[in-house]
Amino acid sequence: MSVSIIGTYHSKVGRLEESIYDLLVKAGKGALEDAGIEPGEIGGIWIGNYSAGGFNNQEHLAPYAPNIHPDLRFKPATRVENACASGSAAIEAAKNAIEAGEIKFALVIGVEKMTTLDTKGFTKVLAMASYWPDEGAKGMTFPGLFAEYAKGYMERYGFSHEQLRTMLAKVSAKNHTNALANPLAQMPLKITYEEILNMPDEKNPMIAPPLRLYDCSLVSDGAAALVLTSTEKAKTLKDEVVEISALSHTTDYLAISKRANWEFTAGKKAIQKAYQIAGITVNDLDFAEVHDCFTIAEILAYEAMGLAADGEGWKLLDDGTVYVDGKLPVNVSGGLKAKGHPVGATGASMAVLATRQLLDKAIGHQIKDAEIGLTFNIGGSAASNYAMVFKRIK
C-alpha cells in the first residue's frame, strides 16, 4: 500500500518563546488544519523527539497529544527516538501502521526544544546520541565525531587542509545563502565562501579541528508535522498529493570505532535502496534535503547519493550542480546549517519541506516543476539512516 501526505506544518526555527508543549500542540493543530480532516479521524499519533528528557525534563511526551484536540484523547500515541533521525523514525512508524491497516490517518510530529540548556548542557545531551562509554563519557562531542569524518576524508583522498576548508566553506555559504529565501530559517546570511575563509578566529572559532563554527549546524527549537493516509484515500481528499514512494532505514554500529571507514556506509545503502524501491535513479531527483549537521556531512551525502563519485563531492560545489539553479539543488531550505536543526524535528521538517516543494508551495526557494525529491536524515554519527523519496501525484 502506498502512503501519502495530505497536511503539513512547519514552525519557525530558532530560539523560540514557545515551550516544547506549545510547539507540539501548534504543530499538530497546523497539520490537521492543513489536511482538512476532523481530529477524531486520526487513528494514531507518532511523536519524533530526541531528548525532551535531557532538554526539558520530560520523557513520555506522546500523551501530550490529546492537548492538541480533545478528540485525540484515547487514540494511540507513541514517541519514537533515533537521535537526530527521530522525525523520520516517527514517519516510518506511522506509515507502517497505515500499511498494516491498523489506522486510516496518522498524525506525525517532530519536535525539539534545545535552547533551554547552556553550551555545556546541550553538548552533553547531544553526546548521549554517541556510544556513551567510549565516546561521550570520554569527552567526545558531535563536532568531534564529525571532525573525525573530515580528517578521514582528507586523508583518504589526499586533500590539503586548505582544500578541505574551501569545500566546507562552500557548503556553509550555499546553505546560509539559501536560507535567505526561507521565512522560517534560523540563520539566513548573505555570505560568500571567501568571506567565511577569511573570517578572523574570533568570528569563526575552531570547534573541533578542522571544523569551525561555520561548519556546525545550529542549536534550535522547532517542530514540523504531517498528516499521512493511504494514497488511495489521499486522492479522494486533495487534487494534488505527495506520495512517500520509498522509505528506507539502515543502521550501522553505534560506536564509530566498530565501522570500517569514514564514509556514510549505511547511509549509502539506505539511499540506494530508496531509489530501488521508488524505481528511480539519482538523475530523476529534482531536489534533495540532506543531513548537513556539519558541512562535511553534506559532501559525504552527495557521494552516498551517487551524485558524485567517492572523493569527488566537492566538484558539485564548483560546477554548480547543487545550487538553487543547478541540476540537483541540495538544501534549498538552508539545511540544518542555516534553517536550523531542532534535532528530533529534523526528519519531519525535511519531509514537510519536500512535500511543500512538490506541491509548488515551497517554504523558501521553489524549484520549478519539481516532481521527485529525496530526504536523507541521519541519527548520531550516522548510525541511524533514513532515506525517503517523495513524488507528486496528480
Q: Which of 22, 29, 71, 75 binds a second copy (CB under 8 A)?
A: 75
Burial class (CB in 10 A: 0-12, 13-18, 19+), 7: buried
Tell me the HSE value of 258 on the side-chain side, using a 13 A CA sphere: 13
Q: Which of 4, 8, 11, 82 binds a second copy (CB under 8 A)?
A: 82
Q: What mask of x and - would describe binding to a second copy in positions 330 to 369, judged by CB under 8 A?
A: ----------------------------------------
Q: What is the Cα 362 distance to its own chain's centre?
A: 16
60 annotated active-site = no
Q: Which of 33, 38, 121, 137 binds a second copy (CB under 8 A)?
A: 137
Q: Which of 66, 306, 311, 326 binds a second copy (CB under 8 A)?
A: 66
Quote the crossing angle between the two packed helices 295-305 and 161-178, to the nearest 10°: 90
Helix (H, G, I), strand (E, B) or coil at 108: strand
Between 137 and 206, CB nearer to a second copy: 137
**256-275: contacts with a second copy (CB under 8 A):** 258, 266, 269
The residue behind cell 555559504 is 173
> With binding defined as CB under 8 A, does residue 59 bind a second copy?
yes
Question: Shortest Cβ distance from residue 22 to a second copy (Å)?
Answer: 11
> With binding defined as CB under 8 A, does residue 115 bind a second copy?
no
Question: Shortest Cβ distance from residue 314 to a second copy (Å)?
Answer: 27
Separation between Cα atoms, residue 147 and residue 360, nearest integer Å: 37
Q: Which three cell numbers stand for residue 375?
A: 530526504
Closest CA to 384 of 47, 146, 124, 84: 84
Q: Which of 2, 15, 41, 53 binds a second copy (CB under 8 A)?
A: 53
> With binding defined as CB under 8 A, does residue 252 bind a second copy?
yes
Q: Which three cell numbers stand for residue 30?
A: 497546523
> With binding defined as CB under 8 A, does residue 67 bind a second copy?
yes
Question: Shortest Cβ distance from residue 273 to a second copy (Å)?
Answer: 9
84 annotated active-site = yes
* In contact, 365 and 326? CB cutoff 8 Å: no
> With binding defined as CB under 8 A, does residue 392 bind a second copy?
no
Tell me the three-class secondary structure of 116-183, residue by residue: CCCHHHHHHHHHCCCCCCCCHHHCCCHHHHHHHHHHHHHHHHCCCHHHHHHHHHHHHHHHHHHHHHCC
Question: Shortest Cβ distance from residue 170 to a second copy (Å)?
Answer: 30
* In contact, 126 and 248? CB cutoff 8 Å: no
Question: Shortest Cβ distance from residue 53 to a second copy (Å)?
Answer: 5
Q: Which of 10, 26, 95, 339 binds a second copy (CB under 8 A)?
A: 95
Helix (H, G, I), strand (E, B) or coil at 390: strand
> With binding defined as CB under 8 A, does residue 62 bind a second copy?
yes
Burial class (CB in 10 A: 0-12, 13-18, 19+), 261: exposed
Q: Which residues contribute to the site for a second copy (CB under 8 A)? A: 1, 19, 21, 44-45, 50-51, 53-54, 56-67, 72-83, 89, 92-93, 95-102, 125, 128-133, 136-137, 249-254, 258, 266, 269, 379-380, 383-384
Q: Give the catalytic positions in this structure.
A: 84, 341
